[in-house]
């Protein structure tokens, strides 16, 4: 049992919460520092939580509650002007007890994770504590805060987009760009007469010409609507003059609705030049910012948390060399690069930045009205999938182990990787479920 000082997690957002809970599961204590005075439930923000993320939350006792409360849409419809171009039905496949994803707002996810943290004596949350400086040597990290200094073996920086203090500690730049295009997001509650569990994507509807609108069903008769808006859009003016109400009614019709949350945002595409150095790691939005289409921000942040937690736990328990922690930065930065490449190509289609791009978007959408082949060129977001680490001759190595009920042969001692003997070979599975190796007879 590890009896040294706690690991410091900077930031009590969903990535920091997940990191602390996962470390507690490995019997590693944490101190979680957050500059805010308390949790503030701010709108839906990240709404689409993928199965692999639910699996990770399940290991800390939160996955079932989030999955049960969430809504799974099974049909995605795509429209261009007045035409419905196509619909995609998603079948649930695999052995997982969880659906492929659920829609549920980030504020509620944070609440569920807070409940788990309240039951975790190894997690010490300190609100109202701002980290002002971080320095490290071979032995430890010193974390300067507005409430004193903490010495710790490792820091996981989950401080979000504004986590400059953590990035600076490892000399990480935050390269990329912030786009000028603006989106209006609203959470509304309303009882639609025939509430269907569908995601709807409208390109250039006559009520938002030249731009797109996306609507997602969420729990408790709520809907999340995203409009791309013009550069001069003024939310307060729209609220005051009734345009916001008219905008919503064009989608939901005359039924009563309640606006729960509304904000305007611009999207970013940024990646830390390194995601870890020595004893300080970056995770979540502190390391990467991506456009929300495809739901890759929080989902990939939770995967960062899992990768960081098992590596730190193995190093601190002495089950593996401290160099195990070094593997984090390369693996998770490669994953972030991949996610950013995918979200960037989605945004290039949705919100083209050049005249040629705008012409391409128009051309594809026009052709898609009559030509089924053109529909494959429409990119309205590619849903998150777990990253495969590294390249190996065997296609499973580095990938997340497929859903599978592991039987007695798969037991392991503490600190060992799980081995899964099947048929002609043996799979060695890492603590995060990724395949470390497959024996020769298998391949
Ligand atoms: C308006 C909006 C809409 C969004 N919509 C979507 C969406 O549709 N889909 C999607 O996938 N994602 C969306 N996101 C992004 C999603 O919210 C983030 O990916 C997610 O919050 C990342 O979680 P995190 O824990 O990494 O960081 P955060 O949630 O940002 O948490 C960081 C925490 O660190 C704390 N902190 C920062 N600096 C310090 C310091 N120096 N000392 C102590 N504490 C500090 C902060 O107080 C904060 O609590 C949206 C975000 C916004 C703002």
Domain spans, the chain: 7-71+99-176+269-344, 388-443
**Digit-coded pLDDT (tens) for 113-142:** 999 999 999 999 999 999 999 999 999 999
Evaluate: CB of 114 within 6 angstroms of ligand 1.
Answer: no
User: Residue 265 above 90 pLDDT?
Assistant: yes
Q: Where are the alpha helices (DSSP H) in 153-275?
A: 164-169, 235-241, 243-252
Among 30, 46, 113, 332, which residue has the most ligand 1 atoms within 8 Å of its CB, making it the best to mutate?
Answer: 46
Confidence tier at 415 by pLDDT (50, 70, 90): confident
- Please give the Cα distance from 407 to 340 (Å, whole number): 37
Residue that the structure tokens 């990787």 belong to: 417
Would the pLDDT of 442 be above 60?
no
Mean pLDDT of 89-114: 88
* Pocket perturbation via mutation, ligand 1, pick of 282, 297, 302, 346 by most ligand atoms within 8 A of CB: 297
Going by alpha carbons, the residue nearest to atom 39 of ligand 1 is 159
pLDDT of residue 367: 97
Give the Cα separation of 59 and 247 in Å (integer).
Answer: 42
Instruction: Kindly state the helix (H) or strand (E) to which residue 216 belongs, with its residue range.
Output: strand 212-218
Q: Which residue has the tokens 């979000």?
A: 160
State whether the beta carbon of 19 lies less than 6 angstroms from ligand 1: no
Name the more confident of 94 and 372: 372
pLDDT in tens, 221-257: 999 999 999 989 999 999 999 999 999 999 998 899 9
Q: Pick left, alpha or beta for residue 15 (phi over 0 → left; psi -120 to 50 → alpha; otherwise beta).
A: alpha
Q: Which of 42, 292, 293 to mutate to test the pocket of ligand 1 (most atoms within 8 A of CB)?
A: 292
**Arithmetic mean of pLDDT, 273-300:** 96
Residue from 45, 105, 301 to probe ligand 1 pocket by mutation (most atoms less than 8 Å from CB): 45
Cα pseudo-dihedral 118, 119, 120, 126, rounded to 10: 10
Q: Write down the pLDDT at residue 192.
A: 81
pLDDT of 314 > 90? The answer is: yes
Which residue's alpha carbon is nearest to atom 2 within ligand 1?
45
Which residue CA neighbors atom 9 of ligand 1 most closely? 46
pTM above 0.85, yes or no: yes
Say how many Å lie between the CA of residue 175 and the centre of ligand 1. Answer: 18
- Cβ(165) – ligand 1 distance below 6 Å: yes
What is the C-alpha to C-alpha distance for residues 6 and 152, in angstroms, rounded to an integer? Answer: 6
DSSP reduced 3-state for 289: strand
Q: Rounded to the nearest whole angstrom, what is the distance from the C-alpha of residue 300 to the centroid of ligand 1? A: 13
Structural tokens at position 281: 């790691």
Cα distance between residue 41 and residue 361, in whole Å:
37
Any atom of ligand 1 within 6 Å of the Cβ of 31:
no
Tokens representing residue 354 in the block: 């050049």
User: Which of 112, 20, 18 is closest to 66 using CA atoms?
Assistant: 112
Helix, strand, or coil here: 231?
coil
The pLDDT value recorded for residue 409 is 47
- Give residue 384's pLDDT: 85
Ligand 1 centroid distance, CA of 145 (Å):
20
What integer is the mean pLDDT of 169-173? Answer: 98
Q: How confident is the model at residue 93 (pLDDT cuts 50, 70, 90)?
A: low
Q: Is the pLDDT of residue 97 over 80?
A: yes
- pLDDT at residue 195, as a whole number: 55
Q: What is the mean pLDDT of residues 416-422?
A: 76
Residue 338 CB less than 6 A away from ligand 1: no
Ligand 1 center from residue 166 Cα (angstroms): 15
Asked if residue 88 has pLDDT above 60, the reply is: yes
Using DSSP's 3-state secondary structure scheme, residue 345 falls into helix
In what helix (H) or strand (E) does residue 87 lie, and over which residues does it extend? strand 83-89
Q: Using CA positions, which residue lies closest to atom 7 of ligand 1?
A: 46
Which is higher by pLDDT, 427 or 374? Answer: 374
Give CA–CA dist 366/213, Å, rounded. Answer: 17
Cβ neighbors of 19 (< 8 A, separation 6 or more) are 9, 30, 156, 158, 283, 305, 308, 309
pLDDT tens-digit series, residues 371-397: 999 999 999 888 888 899 987 778 888
Residue with tokens 């503490």: 414
Indicate the DSSP class of residue 204: S
Q: How far is the CA of 406 from the centre of ligand 1 (A)?
A: 35
According to the model, what pLDDT value does residue 428 have?
87
At 360, list the tokens. 């391409």
Q: What is the mean pLDDT of residues 262-284?
A: 97
- Give residue 16 CA to ligand 1 midpoint distance, Å: 10
13 CA distance to ligand 1 middle (Å):
6
34 Cβ below 6 A of ligand 1: yes
Span 17-30, average pLDDT: 98
Q: Please identify, in words, the CATH class of the domain defined by 7-71+99-176+269-344.
A: alpha beta
Quick one: pLDDT band at residue 441, thresholds 50, 70, 90? low
**H/E run at residue 78:** strand 75-80
Indicate if ligand 1 lies below 6 Å from the C-beta of 159: yes
Residue in 13, 168, 384 to alter for ligand 1 test, most ligand atoms within 8 A of Cβ: 13
Measure 108 CA to ligand 1 centroid, in angstroms.
14
261, 186 Cβ separation under 8 angstroms:
yes
Give the pLDDT score at 70.
96
Q: Coil, helix or strand for 366?
A: helix
State the chain's maximal CA–CA distance in angstroms. Answer: 71
Res. 193: pLDDT tops 70:
no
| Ligand 1: centre distance to CA 276 (Å) | 19
State the chain's mean pLDDT as an integer: 92
Ligand 1 centre distance from Cα of residue 12 (Å): 9
């Amino acid at each position: 049992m590890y009896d040294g000082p706690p690991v410091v997690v900077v930031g009590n957002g969903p990535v920091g919460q997940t990191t602390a809970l996962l470390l507690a599961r490995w019997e590693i204590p944490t101190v979680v520092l957050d500059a805010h005075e308390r949790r503030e439930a701010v709108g839906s923000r990240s709404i689409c939580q993928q199965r692999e993320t639910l699996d990770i939350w399940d290991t800390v006792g939160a996955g079932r509650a989030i999955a049960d409360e969430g809504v799974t849409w099974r049909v995605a419809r795509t429209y261009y002007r007045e035409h419905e171009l196509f619909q995609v039905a998603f079948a649930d496949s695999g052995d997982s007890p969880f659906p492929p994803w659920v829609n549920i707002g980030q504020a509620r996810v944070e609440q569920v994770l807070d409940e788990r943290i309240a039951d975790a004596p190894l997690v010490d949350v300190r609100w109202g504590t701002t980290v002002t400086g971080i320095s490290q040597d071979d032995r430890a990290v010193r974390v300067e805060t507005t409430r004193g200094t903490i010495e710790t073996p490792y820091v996981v920086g989950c401080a979000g987009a504004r986590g400059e203090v953590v990035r600076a500690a490892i000399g990480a730049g935050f390269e990329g760009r912030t786009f000028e295009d603006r989106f209006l997001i609203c959470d509304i509650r309303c009882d639609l007469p025939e509430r269907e569990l569908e995601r709807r994507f409208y390109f250039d509807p006559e009520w938002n010409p030249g731009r797109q609108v996306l609507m997602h069903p969420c729990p408790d008769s709520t809907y999340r609507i995203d409009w791309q808006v013009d550069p001069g859009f003024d939310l307060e003016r729209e609220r005051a003059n009734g345009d916001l109400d008219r905008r919503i009614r064009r989608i939901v019709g005359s039924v009563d609705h309640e606006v729960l949350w509304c904000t305007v945002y611009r999207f970013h595409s940024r990646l830390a030049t390194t995601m870890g150095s020595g004893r300080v790691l970056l995770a979540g939005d502190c390391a990467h910012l991506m456009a929300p289409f495809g739901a890759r921000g929080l989902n990939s942040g939770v995967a960062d948390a899992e990768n960081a937690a098992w590596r730190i736990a193995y190093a601190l328990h002495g089950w593996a060399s401290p160099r195990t922690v070094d593997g984090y930065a390369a693996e998770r930065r490669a994953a972030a690069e991949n996610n950013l490449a995918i979200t960037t190509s989605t945004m290039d289609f949705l919100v083209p930045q050049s005249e040629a791009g705008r012409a391409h978007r128009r051309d594809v959408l026009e052709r898609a009205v009559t030509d089924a082949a053109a529909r494959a060129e429409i990119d309205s977001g590619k849903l998150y999938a777990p990253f495969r680490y590294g390249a190996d001759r065997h296609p499973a190595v580095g990938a997340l182990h497929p859903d599978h009920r592991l039987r007695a042969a798969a037991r392991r001692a503490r600190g060992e990787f799980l081995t899964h003997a099947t048929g002609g070979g043996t799979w060695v599975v890492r603590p995060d479920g990724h395949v470390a190796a497959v024996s020769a007879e298998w391949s």
